[in-house]
């Protein structure tokens, strides 16, 4: 096996990466407020460098209709909404009024609240109630790992040809390389195999943050 070209991600190198993926003031405040208010739970927030990446992907694809599964305090939602045209929309799925309330405040400050349709309910119920596809331009999936395959099966048929599905945590702390992993690691390992076998998409698994899968609908 060939050696990885990835350098060790030291704190200094990670700080350098963040310096080259700067956040705007509202995004910065949202990240900080999430950590101040929620403590250890703040680890559920999308990695900081992924905000600029998601915005870049929205602009690159020309997306107008986005579905996000797993909103938490709305950092990823904010990043994508800011990159949308004025008539674009993010349908954001979550189950927590408390956590998403933090996001609502930031969305309002950024002037993009009208682009975000927050739906508080079990995400599978929300997805199954959406119109049949295809009509979604971009998906961001970052929610409970055991339901990833179920979410995927609701989202792929609703995604436009050429549309992009972005899935977070697909390395799950490195546990996916262990065939005996359990819990979330086993769920993500099964999900990754499911995506690999899905001929409706072409996909790449990247070592971004905790693993990021990009899949293009054929």
- Residue 31 in any domain: the answer is yes
- Residue 1 in any domain: the answer is no
- Residue 4 in any domain: the answer is no
Domain that holds residue 142: 11-36+47-217
- Residue 3 in any domain: the answer is no
The reported pLDDT for the residue numbered 3 is 85
- Residue 202 in any domain: the answer is yes
- Residue 42 in any domain: the answer is no
- Residue 80 in any domain: the answer is yes
CA pair distance 140, 145, nearest whole angstrom: 13
pTM of the entire predicted model:
0.97
The reported pLDDT for the residue numbered 2 is 81
CA pair distance 135, 190, nearest whole angstrom: 27
- Residue 138 in any domain: the answer is yes
Render each residue's pLDDT in the chain as its tens digit; 218 residues.
788 999 999 999 999 999 999 999 999 999 999 999 999 999 999 999 999 999 999 999 999 999 999 999 999 999 999 999 999 999 999 999 999 999 999 999 999 999 999 999 999 999 999 999 899 999 999 999 999 999 999 999 999 999 999 999 999 999 999 999 999 999 999 999 999 999 999 999 999 999 999 999 99
Please tell me the total count of domains within the chain.
1
Q: Report the CATH number that the domain containing residue 51 is assigned in CATH.
A: 3.40.50.150
């Amino acid at each position: 096996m060939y050696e990885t070209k990835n350098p060790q991600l030291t704190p200094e190198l990670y700080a350098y990466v963040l310096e080259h993926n700067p956040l705007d003031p509202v995004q910065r405040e949202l990240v900080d407020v999430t950590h101040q208010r929620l403590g250890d739970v703040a680890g559920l927030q999308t990695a900081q460098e992924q905000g600029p990446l998601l915005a870049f992907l929205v602009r690159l694809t020309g997306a107008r209709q986005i579905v996000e599964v797993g909103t938490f305090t709305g950092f990823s939602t904010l990043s994508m909404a800011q990159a949308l045209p004025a008539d674009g929309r993010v349908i954001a799925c979550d189950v927590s009024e408390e956590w998403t309330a933090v996001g609502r405040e930031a969305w309002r400050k950024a002037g993009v609240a009208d682009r975000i349709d927050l739906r508080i309910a079990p995400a599978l119920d929300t997805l199954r109630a959406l119109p049949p596809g295809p009509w979604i331009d971009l998906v961001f999936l970052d929610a409970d790992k055991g339901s990833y395959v179920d979410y995927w099966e609701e989202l792929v048929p609703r995604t436009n040809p050429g549309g992009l599905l972005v899935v977070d945590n697909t390395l799950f702390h490195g546990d996916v390389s262990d065939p005996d992993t359990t819990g979330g690691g086993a769920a993500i390992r099964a999900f990754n195999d499911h995506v690999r076998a899905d001929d409706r998409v072409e996909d790449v698994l990247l070592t971004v943050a905790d693993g990021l899968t990009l899949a293009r609908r054929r």
